[in-house]
Amino acid sequence: MDATIAAASPKAAASLGSHASKGEKNLSLLAQMREDAEAAFQRDPAADSVRDIVLFSTGTHT
């Protein structure tokens, strides 16, 4: 984990490391986003594509 992130925000640093602490492989930010979008697509019967999840789902963009 990046020491700069840990020093700037311990809470943010802890949340970034949450995937790896559960025994999962350490993924890049884009890989985590892709994995999360694909999981959401599998669980959302109204979504037509992963692209729809990324662009239109609440909480995936600001």
**Domain map (residue ranges) of the chain:** 3-56
Do 61 and 55 meet the contact criterion of CB atoms below 8 Å apart?
Answer: yes
| Chain segment 25-57, per-residue pLDDT in tens | 788 999 999 999 999 999 999 899 999 998 888
Band (pLDDT 50/70/90 cuts) for residue 22 is: low
DSSP string, 1-62: --HHHHHH-HHHHHHHTHHHHTT-----HHHHHHHHHHHHHHH-TT-S-HHHHHHHSTTS--
Q: Answer with the residue of higher pLDDT: 36 or 16.
A: 36
pLDDT surpasses 70 at 24: no
Q: What pLDDT is recorded for position 14?
A: 53
Contact 50, 56 (CB under 8 A): no
